[in-house]
Structure 1
């Protein structure tokens, strides 16, 4: 699997991540949503044991091993220039045009 992002999208995600490090995870969140899942981009401190790395550059991106069949071989992530959401699509279909970026990293106390 490959995740493609333009320079604007990469920069917008890097701004959110700041200098704290972390990884990006493309994830279908089915917890407390009452549906088949909502696509989200998560910022995590590190991947979970069941996560698989799909690429390293320009950002480290992971997916859950069990969710891998839900995604196409090439996924495109595009930042909205006005709103804090992203469009996730492939060459064959649009997965969502309203994907949030959720920062789930632990904050230093």
Structure 2
């Protein structure tokens, strides 16, 4: 799997995380979606790794993703940031996987939405 960050996504993530310690996870969240094949992707900046997390090298920071969820992704994807809607976007050559992808900061004590 290959993930490319656009310049606008790199700039926005850099603003959000600053000097904080942690890593980025591409989370395929199925909670409340009915079943495991229905899910939505989100970016998590976390201080802990998800179980079964696999490192994916990128042109910016590495991204971690549960190996068992990679089946729902395309081989080559791009993460962009669209300032006009203040949202990240996940896309591939096959189409847009998530047009308004959220960014969360996840810590042992809870989470915060960004």
Distance in 2, Cα, partners of 1:60 & 1:18: 16
- 1:82 Cα deviation after fit: 3.1
- Matched with 2:11 is 11
TM-score (norm 2): 0.82
> Which sections of structure 1, spanning at least 5 residues, go unmatched?
none
- Matched with 1:41 is 43
Distance in 2, Cα, partners of 1:31 & 1:58: 29
Aligned partner (choices 43, 52, 55) of residue 53 of structure 1: 55
Distance in 1, Cα, partners of 2:98 & 2:40: 9
- 1:85 Cα deviation after fit: 1.4
Q: Is the 8 A contact 1:22 1:105 kept in 2?
A: no
- 1:103 Cα deviation after fit: 0.8
Instruction: State the SS of the aligned residue for 2:69.
Output: helix
Q: Is the 8 A contact 1:29 1:37 kept in 2?
A: yes
> Which sections of structure 2, spanning at least 5 residues, go unmatched?
110-114
Aligned partner (choices 95, 98, 101) of residue 97 of structure 2: 95
- Matched with 1:78 is 80
Distance in 1, Cα, partners of 2:58 & 2:34: 33
TM-score (norm 1): 0.86
State the superposition RMSD in angstroms.
1.8
Distance in 2, Cα, partners of 1:13 & 1:70: 24
